[in-house]
Structure 1
Amino acid sequence: MRPELRLPALSRRGFLGLTAAAALAGCAAPGSTSAGGPPRPGGRLRAAFSGGGAAEVLDPQDSDLYVEIARAKALFDKLADFGSDMSPVPRLAERWEPSAELTTWRITLRQAAFHDGRPLRAADVLASYARITEPGSSRRAKSTLSVIDLPNSREIDDRTVEFRLQRPYGEFPNALAALGAYILPGGTADFDRPIGTGPFRFASFEPGRTFLAVRNPDHWDGAPLLDELEIVVTNDEAARVNALLGGQVEYAHDLTPTSARTYESSGQVQVHRLPLSNFHGLAMKVDRPPFDRPELRQALFHLVDREELVRSVFQGSGQVCNDVYGKGYRYYADALPQRRQDLDRARALVRQAGAEGMTIGFDTSDASTGLKEAALAISDQAKEIGLHLEVRLGNKDTYWSDIAGNGVLAGYRSGGMPLESHFSQRLLTTSTTNNTRWRRPEFDARYHEAQSTTDEARRAELYREMQETLFHEGGFLWWGVSDWIVASAPGVHGIDDRAPANTLDWARFDKVWLA
């Protein structure tokens, strides 16, 4: 867990007082959903995100928050990233080739260079993955990359890496695209002035407040259109909106449906709704009372009125989910019967669990839009079955690290990722972000079998079985999925409205331009 010491985020007044000159020019970017005239690169884009205070980092392999991931994307690259359909897209990897038994994967690297001019080498890739998976590491991608037998992996030449795996892994390119699997220069030890291969070069950073990067003219995927990217932090959604309206920023991340509707029709801002991006749920820790009783977890499954939450929290701008992650994604078990609120069944399960009249701490926060509102609504619903869910508002700067180890019930939110990544990062015994403490050897065995087969039908069947187990016994309750809402000034172009959060083209500021 990160240190508790935090500096306060910018106040609304202080945030709105930010000033920076923006040169307005532009050119069209591939995949842009808006037109804005002929190419004319230049200018500074100022983007507002919520953040994590003084504990924010520039180490891309330790990035957890959306603002940290956006900065990491600006400065660094991965071997692959997820496309808008959640399939892996080559990035620093030019191509990959598996062996017939899926235990060896050969990666050919692109011709790319770090910001200091050093060429990207196979040794940098091996060193980066060794750092992620080193003993004692809790880096996000560790559990995914731990399948690699690094001592027996090798450089074939400067631009070719051969990964030997501990076991067959049919979806290994997903590991290359995992959150946090960024490539660093070999021997990187600090991030005071980070060096990557990304489209922007580091200029300055004040944790919890500001970040500035400048155009990398030598980026392997083409130079950015912007001269400068500035990311500013405020955890107040209204402040982000007001800064956009007042011209202090040109991009505001994570808006509520209310704000989007209020300002969209006025023409003051452009609203971008990124589909199937924002999964909302609860995380119950299954290794400790009272949620070590499966009956109580099932009681919550039957308690929650998903339709009402979509109406009240999303204000209709979303869809109900069915307690398993990844609605609409490949391998999603859409044949499971849709759960609906059943208070009689929920009451009976509470009695079976011996939990009648029990008070349970329910952690939530203003760290993410809708998190607190959902917790209050679910707490009200729980009164009808004799449970008292005591809503506790946590520190929005430290919320995600706090709930990882503490408490028993918490509001949860996730961006998009393939089902395979959701399983490997959150639900295996070795997962480093296992917030529900779900540890089942038989579940792990099914996952490993799914990865060892080249038979797509068999893999789909194993994933269906795993989701059915989670549907009945798991610690996650996914009640809804909403669009991710961002907004930009009218003169901003190149934002891809098709890209879910956490994918390649989300927060893709190297393709944004100003007009």
Structure 2
Amino acid sequence: MPDTPFPALRRRGFLAAAGAASLGGLALTGCGTGTDADAEAGGGSAPKRGGRLRAAFAGGGASETLDPHLANLFADVARAKALFDKLADYGADLSAQPRLASAWEPNAALDRWHVTLREADFHDGRPVTAEDVLYSYRRIADPDKAFRAKASLEPIDLAASRATGARSLEFVLKRPTAEFPNVLASFGAYIVPEGAGDFDRKPVGSGPFRFVSFAPGRSAVLRRNDAYWDGAPHLDELEFVVANEESARVNALLGGQVEYAHELNPTTARAHEDGGRISIVRLRNSAMQAFCMKTDRPPFDDARVRQAFFLIADRQELVDGALAGAGVIGNDLFGKGYEYYAGTLPQRTRDLDRARALLKEAGAEKLKVTLDTSAVAAGFTEAAAVFRDQAREAGVTVEIRMGSKDSYWSDILDSGTLCCYRSGAMPIEAHLSQRLLTDSTTNATGWRHADFDALYRQAQSTRDRAERGAVYERMQRRLHTEGGFLVWGFADWIVGTARSVRGVDAKAPANTLDWARFDKVWLA
């Protein structure tokens, strides 16, 4: 899945009539019940078999595809996980959980991993084999293709890796990699049959649903796979429909045209929370919210200035003002609640006196800085305005610069000095490797330190999990003290459902295994 939730692309057509439906009340309750606890337990009723669930997502128009290796939008990934499987996927704490792989075991040097496959079949009856896995990974790694998981599979020497049996294979790695299971769980690393290539006419996967029909930019209809290795879904059919505007998704849900609406904003939920016509599921901790300071250029090349900005932020005010309270405060570290998160560090609080003193020491008493933001993500412009006012109290002038929604993410990677930033769920190890090493391709803070890189390599070559966790904690302590990410909050991802829907997991952040897990959902 995307590091950042992707903007809805505008389109007229399907569900246009939904706009005529009256916006009724949204009940901030568990899925189909009166409490969050009931929602997390599956709705308080035994699963019922049958029916078709219609799920509304923002889509990508006529260019949409069912090729799982090209999955990019949330709609793409939800469809892909219904049709296909990965070797592993991320649990709620972002640790790798076995899927098509039933087991994995490294050698002593952590540069060779033996993976055993479970017994599973593709929709056409063929068994999933080691050769299918190698074909899938080599397809993803094709240098002439822009498949999303390509960078994640980079540690594997695919030329040297080999099948050791019908359901076993040895992955040879280019370097020791203790967190190799995260590679198996990479976004987009789906397993397809050997030789597969035509996915839009009749895709064949090993997932819980089988292909029925697909109209790019409009809908996809899937049917229950009774032979699914993890148990047949409760639903007879699943239909994905495209509704790019949030208002269209909400109105379609209220009007009974869909039973599931993905990506609702907190303002909508708060404005209609007392009506009780639909249910809301909040997927906690789904998106990091931050300001990104460029540590390799003035004024943020001075650690004292970065530390001052940490102390300027009123995190609760940012959560309340930018997220309408739909989230929790951050502590300037990625991955709150995830595996290896340094949760023992004290929560940083606002201290304007100390912030002013640090700025004075750095010779930046009357600092002026430009904050780049955009309407590319919910809450960005609001967060920029809130922080501008907070900084003024410390004698800092923040000028807000609005960027293009179309180019914002590429623009802020190399330009500017301070920007609004967010990230979807991923393992802390992946965040470190993708964003904080000297050669990381998305190093938005310009954090480049050879000793920090060495700690990452040490962690990856450490077999014992507790010892590896201790190294990750050292890295996070340094980032907490002088890093470039001012992580002020973690936003909920909000899903709306009809009152009849059961089994939506409220504990799973977006992008993880149990997000959009429609094989576990049923209609009461």
Give the TM-score of the pair, scaled to structure 1: 0.85
Amino acid at match of 2:490: V
2:424 corresponds to 1:415: yes
For residues 163-191 of structure 1, give each alpha carbon's deviation from its aligned partner in whole angstroms, at most 9, with x where no partner exists.
12223322221221122222233344464
Gaps of 5+ in 1: 20-29
Separation (CA, whole Å) in 1 of partners of 2:301 and 2:137: 35
Separation (CA, whole Å) in 2 of partners of 1:469 and 1:299: 16
2:386 corresponds to 1:372: no
2:330/2:336 contact within 8 Å kept = yes
2:281 corresponds to 1:272: yes
Q: CA 1:129 to 1:406, structure 2 compared with 1: closer, same or farther past 3 Å?
A: farther
- The equivalent residue for 1:26 is none
1:145/1:175 contact within 8 Å kept = yes
Secondary structure at the aligned position of 2:16 is classed as helix
Secondary structure at the aligned position of 1:152 is classed as coil
Q: CA 1:117 to 1:186, structure 2 compared with 1: closer, same or farther past 3 Å?
A: same
Amino acid at match of 2:268: S
What does 1:169-318 align with in structure 2 at a 5 Å threshold? 169-189=177-197, 191-193=199-201, 194-202=203-211, 203-207=213-217, 209-286=218-295, 291-292=300-301, 294-318=303-327
Q: CA 1:128 to 1:250, structure 2 compared with 1: closer, same or farther past 3 Å?
A: same
Q: CA 1:191 to 1:363, structure 2 compared with 1: closer, same or farther past 3 Å?
A: farther
- The equivalent residue for 2:16 is 14
Q: What is the deviation of 1:417?
A: 2.8
Q: What is the deviation of 1:424?
A: 2.8
2:374/2:402 contact within 8 Å kept = yes
Q: What is the deviation of 1:450?
A: 0.8
Separation (CA, whole Å) in 2 of partners of 1:469 and 1:137: 37
Separation (CA, whole Å) in 2 of partners of 1:199 and 1:409: 44
1:364/1:375 contact within 8 Å kept = no
Name whichever of 504-513 and 234-243 sits farther off.
234-243
Alpha-carbon RMSD across the aligned residues, in angstroms, is 3.3
Gaps of 5+ in 2: 3-7, 22-38
What does 1:309-328 align with in structure 2 at a 5 Å threshold? 309-328=318-337
Separation (CA, whole Å) in 2 of partners of 1:505 and 1:382: 39
Separation (CA, whole Å) in 1 of partners of 2:67 and 2:409: 17
- The equivalent residue for 1:22 is none
Q: 1:394 pairs with 404, 409, 416, which one?
A: 404
For residues 259-299 of structure 1, give each alpha carbon's deviation from its aligned partner in whole angstroms, at most 9, with x where no partner exists.
33454543211221223323211234445666555555444
For residues 87-121 of structure 1, give each alpha carbon's deviation from its aligned partner in whole angstroms, at most 9, with x where no partner exists.
32211112222223322211111222334444322
1:175/1:421 contact within 8 Å kept = no
Secondary structure at the aligned position of 1:471 is classed as helix
Separation (CA, whole Å) in 1 of partners of 2:42 and 2:381: 32
Q: CA 1:475 to 1:75, structure 2 compared with 1: closer, same or farther past 3 Å?
A: farther
Amino acid at match of 1:83: G
Q: 1:362 pairs with 372, 381, 385, which one?
A: 372
1:363/1:409 contact within 8 Å kept = no
Secondary structure at the aligned position of 2:288 is classed as strand
Secondary structure at the aligned position of 2:432 is classed as helix
Secondary structure at the aligned position of 1:151 is classed as coil
Amino acid at match of 1:154: R
Q: CA 1:456 to 1:8, structure 2 compared with 1: closer, same or farther past 3 Å?
A: closer
2:19/2:251 contact within 8 Å kept = no
2:65/2:216 contact within 8 Å kept = no
Q: CA 1:142 to 1:347, structure 2 compared with 1: closer, same or farther past 3 Å?
A: farther
Secondary structure at the aligned position of 1:145 is classed as coil
Q: What is the deviation of 1:323?
A: 0.6
1:347/1:386 contact within 8 Å kept = no
For residues 17-76 of structure 1, give each alpha carbon's deviation from its aligned partner in whole angstroms, at most 9, with x where no partner exists.
699xxxxxxxxxx98521445633232x22223445566554433434323322221222
- The equivalent residue for 2:35 is none
Q: What is the deviation of 1:128?
A: 2.2
Alignment size in residue pairs? 497
Q: CA 1:372 to 1:231, structure 2 compared with 1: closer, same or farther past 3 Å?
A: farther
- The equivalent residue for 2:168 is 160
Separation (CA, whole Å) in 2 of partners of 1:403 and 1:18: 38
2:65/2:200 contact within 8 Å kept = no
- The equivalent residue for 1:447 is 456
1:142/1:432 contact within 8 Å kept = no
Give the TM-score of the pair, scaled to structure 2: 0.83
2:520 corresponds to 1:506: no
- The equivalent residue for 1:129 is 137
Secondary structure at the aligned position of 2:86 is classed as coil
1:144/1:425 contact within 8 Å kept = no
2:63/2:216 contact within 8 Å kept = no
Q: 2:100 pairs with 89, 92, 107, which one?
A: 92
Separation (CA, whole Å) in 2 of partners of 1:182 and 1:353: 52
- The equivalent residue for 2:497 is 488
Amino acid at match of 1:152: A
Q: 2:435 pairs with 422, 426, 432, which one?
A: 426
Q: CA 1:38 to 1:62, structure 2 compared with 1: closer, same or farther past 3 Å?
A: closer
Separation (CA, whole Å) in 2 of partners of 1:294 and 1:58: 46
2:93/2:337 contact within 8 Å kept = no
Separation (CA, whole Å) in 2 of partners of 1:221 and 1:199: 8
For residues 362-421 of structure 1, give each alpha carbon's deviation from its aligned partner in whole angstroms, at most 9, with x where no partner exists.
1222x44333322322233334433333241532x6655665566554323333333223
Q: CA 1:196 to 1:428, structure 2 compared with 1: closer, same or farther past 3 Å?
A: farther
Separation (CA, whole Å) in 1 of partners of 2:365 and 2:74: 37
1:293/1:353 contact within 8 Å kept = no
Name whichever of 504-513 and 403-412 sits farther off.
403-412
Q: Tell me the percent identity.
A: 54
